[in-house]
Structure 1
Amino acid sequence: MSAAHLPKVAGIDSPVPAPAHTSSPLLGRLSPPGEPGAHPGTPVPGVRLTADQDQLTSWISDLTALHELTERLAGTATLKDALREVLCAGGALVGARRGVAALAPGDGLGPATVVGLGLGPAELGVLETVPLPAAPEEAPAEEIHTDLCREPGIGPRHREVSLRLGFGASYALRLSAGAAGRLGSALWFYDGPAEPAERQRHLAGLYCRHAAEHLALLLELDRGRTTVAALRDELLPARLPRVPGVRLAVRHLPAAGGGGDWYDALPLPEGALGLSVGGVSGGGTSAVAAMGRLRTSLRAYAVMEGEDPVAVLSDLELLLRLTEPARSATALFAYAEPASRKIAVAGAGHCPPLVVGERRVEYVETSLSAPLGMLSCWEAPSVELRALPGETLLLYTDGLLHRTGDPVDRAFARLHAAAASAPAPVRDDPAQLVEHVLHALRPDDRREPHPTEDVVLLAARFD
């Protein structure tokens, strides 16, 4: 495209309709119709009324467009999705079909995130080789380059990349929000020499100021989730133990805000194995911390009197009432002797385990009991069973049932059917069996980016 003439005004597929008058109706800058200064010159009643109506129509159109775009932005729940929406909306407002948004919080705590609009990974990689003209804190709030190939002051590498990727012009806005300060920037590219009109720039600026506040909230949530995830990972087993006669597998799908579910597998004296799953009430960092305290205490009680699961849970219940009076918890503890495949199970308000084998798929009928912390004194009888060679004991938390979205009785039936439908090779491998059950119960779970409940599924196969 030749640059001999003046740069054109960008307007590629913009959803914001052009005003019917010659002056740009910038929101917040124009006087309301009828006030002095709204239109220069000698007022002519008929002409003035028509101009005021046109101006009001343009204002309404601008407000409607901004409202629709901000509503779409409010529906995003992750930083990457929000940045993509900012690029799409901004590109529509300024008339650009390609762009890049970079999140780099000024406090240096991250996370650093880059997303593109109409640009692939290779093109984004090329853009990262362009040196920044200024430090982040010194970057202007708005930057326009109307002709990247001929405009003076453009660096050689910047010009080389622009020619390579076919960029003729660019328009950038800084993303800053209140106390959060600088968050990053959004940059849009035109295919040829171009420049957004003043009205387009004003609308894009209004939108990006709102978008920055939304990004600041998502950034705070993201950092909170990262902190909770790091704490949870430190409090749960990094790996499962190896115990002769038993093969173990586990899947833990944590809640976005931090849930209080736990799992554990603990080698005990004389070749025994303690298995436990459970969960504390509440969510967030406090629930995760309480979960860590209970799980650690349960390990100690299991070492001292693990052969009596009722005693283990009774001790845990007493500890909970003394140290966590405002919380309740569900728990299930199983004491297994792999050599004889003998298992003793006790539960406190928890879902019954499921035995999966070639000849049977059935729930272990543990006694009904209240969760820990709900009664002045907890005690319920344990249940003993003997697993057949090749059978697997599945322990899980109620989040597995809740994520199905079905009533409890139907969720139990679905879990039983999922385990029963596992082919023989899948039943022989506890890791494959866990994956099979999860996929059968939650085939569309990927559509839920921020689940509200933990899911734990622990499998122990007895050889």
Structure 2
Amino acid sequence: MLDIPSSVRVDVEALLAAQNHMGVCDAIEQYAPVERPETMTTPHLPKVAGIDSTVPPPAHTAAPASPSPAPPSSPEAPGAPGALIQDRLAGWVSDLTTLHELTERLARTAVMDDALHEVLRAGAALVGARRGLVVLEPADGLGPDTTVGLGLARADLGHIETVPRGATSYGRILDRTDGTGEPEVHADLLSEAGLDPRHREVAARLGYAASFALPLATEAAGRLGAAVWLYDEPAEPVERQRHLVGLYTRYATEHLARLLELERARTKSRTIAEELLPPRLPRVAGVQLAARHRTGPRGGGDWYDALPLPEGALGLAVGSVTGSGASAVAAMGRLRASLRAYAVMEGEDPVAVLSDLELLLRLTEPARSATALFAYCEPALRKIVLAGAGHSPPLVIGERRTEFVETSLSAPLGMLACWEAPSVEFSPEPGETVLLYTDGLLHRTGDPMDRAFARLHAAAAGVPRTIRDDPGAIADHVLHTVLPDGLDAADSDEDVVLLAARFE
């Protein structure tokens, strides 16, 4: 009988499990050591950064060449129990480190598209593939349905989608009743006798010879989609690689389910906010209109309106309700609808319109405040009368001037017991554009308000002559100049509204 020192004594069944390449988590859970070693004999492993080398990076999965065996008398010989256990423990630690780093990287993603790309990259490293695709198709049918590729251009994905759905790995997974089950493995696609001719043609065109597909599904999250990794040569992942990628995809599915729920909530909020805004701008003789609206991920209370009034007049309004989320969107809808009613009844007096709006807000929503600006325009006379309640002044953009309209300083609606401020009147010249906007445009810059106003003025003054006759192009130029580096489209807690009116 072997005399095994207590420092390396383990349960025999654990050793057998290690020899059979049992997954690290299963083996550790089922076969714990009978007692804690007196001293740690395993050498201290170096800190692993990035993807651990135990996961093979090349596109094939051929086993590496075996190292030269040590002399039988050596304590590190393959037959020595201590060396075998040490190697297995080192492999388990390496696997756990790799999974920990990959799941941490995935957990840092906050957008569905970023998460799908991360799942593809991590899965490719775990199974030793170079390319792949994820098909997101939730089983509840509520969407969103999308396909994301790794190492595949949009045209390549289009070629793959021409293959009949039932002939693809992801199609068979998604068409299952529960969307779960065993992975789809095709170790040598081009030599398969029953392979669909179109699939064979696409595989040859794109240069892949094998595939490994897994469902993105758990009992709690249901079926979300399927992931497929493609090999350049005939190959398939070994049992250990399958076990690791299975653990990873189970975690990834739960993370994707949370992002999916958040994405759907954001989409609903955006849809409701857009439906509460004008579906189209009116056509009024003597003036051209354009509007731009950017909303935050939670939905905000910024709004705009343009409505034709009696005798060829036009009412223009922008405003912002405090708060965010569904309650702010609902309050915005109520406030905009009320302003439209007051504008029809007494639009020629903007102060009276805002006074009525302030009274309504104070009586119906005493815990909320709002800013608003209403302008009564007579395009035939090129005359504008406006009043503002805590709102930023409009900006006049023309050939000879770019300046802010001087308005009286006033408090927002709902802040005082009785709101009232004098109106101002001005006349834009032919070809000039009046730009109305909300404070979100200034807040998104991240600058102090004086610098944000200076940036807005510089952007308006720099509008090219070639686009000055197009209010939509003017609004786009101002938006992209004031908010560079894609900040005009990025998620932010601040809503942005621009309403441009060019007078002929």
* TM-score of the aligned structures, taking structure 1 as reference length: 0.87
1:24 pairs with 2:21: yes
1:112 pairs with 2:154: no
Q: Residue by residue, what CA displacement relative to the aligned partner does 1:39-76 show, whole Å, maximum 9, x if unpaired? A: xxxxx998555444433332332222222222322233
Which of 278, 281, 284 is the matching residue for 1:243? 284
Q: Which residue is 1:35 aligned to?
A: 33
Asked if the contact 1:260–1:291 (Cα under 8 Å) also holds between the matched residues in 2, the reply is yes
- Give 1:387 deviation, angstroms: 2.1
CA distance in 1, matches of 2:351, 2:230: 68
Q: Which residue is 2:373 aligned to?
A: 332
* Correspondence 1:54-453 to 2 at 5 A: 54-128=87-161, 129-132=163-166, 133=172, 135-139=175-179, 140-151=181-192, 154-155=195-196, 157-445=198-486, 449-453=490-494
CA distance in 2, matches of 1:175, 1:447: 34
CA distance in 1, matches of 2:429, 2:154: 53
Task: Name the SS of the counterpart of 1:115 in structure 2.
Answer: strand
Q: Residue by residue, what CA displacement relative to the aligned partner does 1:377-429 show, whole Å, maximum 9, x if unpaired? A: 22222222222232221100111111212111100011111111223343333
Q: Which residue is 1:5 aligned to?
A: none
- Give 1:37 deviation, angstroms: 11
CA RMSD of aligned residues (A): 2.6
Asked if the contact 1:258–1:285 (Cα under 8 Å) also holds between the matched residues in 2, the reply is yes
Structure-2 change in CA distance of 1:275 and 1:447 (3 Å): closer
- Give 1:113 deviation, angstroms: 0.8
Asked if the contact 1:258–1:284 (Cα under 8 Å) also holds between the matched residues in 2, the reply is yes
Amino acid at match of 1:394: L
CA distance in 2, matches of 1:246, 1:113: 41
CA distance in 2, matches of 1:216, 1:332: 42
Task: Name the SS of the counterpart of 2:216 in structure 1.
Answer: strand
Structure-2 change in CA distance of 1:172 and 1:37 (3 Å): farther
Structure-2 change in CA distance of 1:37 and 1:166 (3 Å): farther
- Give 1:153 deviation, angstroms: 5.8
Greater relative CO, 1 or 2 (CA 8 Å, sep 6+):
1
Asked if the contact 2:408–2:422 (Cα under 8 Å) also holds between the matched residues in 1, the reply is yes
CA distance in 2, matches of 1:440, 1:34: 63
CA distance in 1, matches of 2:312, 2:489: 41
- Give 1:163 deviation, angstroms: 4.2
Provide the aligned length of Structure 1 versus Structure 2: 438
Structure number with bigger Rg? 2
Asked if the contact 2:309–2:315 (Cα under 8 Å) also holds between the matched residues in 1, the reply is yes
- Give 1:376 deviation, angstroms: 2.5
CA distance in 2, matches of 1:378, 1:233: 29
- Give 1:447 deviation, angstroms: 8.6
Asked if the contact 2:444–2:487 (Cα under 8 Å) also holds between the matched residues in 1, the reply is no
Asked if the contact 2:479–2:488 (Cα under 8 Å) also holds between the matched residues in 1, the reply is no
Structure-2 change in CA distance of 1:175 and 1:127 (3 Å): same
Amino acid at match of 1:131: R
Amino acid at match of 2:412: P
Amino acid at match of 2:26: R
Structure-2 change in CA distance of 1:270 and 1:163 (3 Å): closer
Q: Residue by residue, what CA displacement relative to the aligned partner does 1:90-116 show, whole Å, maximum 9, x if unpaired? A: 011000112121111111111111112
Q: Residue by residue, what CA displacement relative to the aligned partner does 1:315-359 show, whole Å, maximum 9, x if unpaired? A: 111111222233221111111222222222211111111122233
Structure-2 change in CA distance of 1:384 and 1:170 (3 Å): same
Amino acid at match of 2:111: T
Structure-2 change in CA distance of 1:35 and 1:227 (3 Å): same
Asked if the contact 2:189–2:195 (Cα under 8 Å) also holds between the matched residues in 1, the reply is yes
Structure-2 change in CA distance of 1:178 and 1:260 (3 Å): farther
Asked if the contact 1:178–1:213 (Cα under 8 Å) also holds between the matched residues in 2, the reply is no
Which stretch of the first structure deviates more once superposed, 239-248 or 102-111?
Answer: 239-248
Asked if the contact 2:221–2:253 (Cα under 8 Å) also holds between the matched residues in 1, the reply is no
CA distance in 2, matches of 1:282, 1:141: 48
Q: List alignment gaps of at least 5 residues for structure 2.
A: 1-17, 37-73, 167-171
Q: Which residue is 2:47 aligned to?
A: none
Structure-2 change in CA distance of 1:379 and 1:120 (3 Å): same
Asked if the contact 1:34–1:52 (Cα under 8 Å) also holds between the matched residues in 2, the reply is no
Structure-2 change in CA distance of 1:89 and 1:37 (3 Å): farther
Amino acid at match of 1:29: D
- Give 1:138 deviation, angstroms: 4.8
- Give 1:157 deviation, angstroms: 4.8
Amino acid at match of 1:370: A
- Give 1:179 deviation, angstroms: 3.5
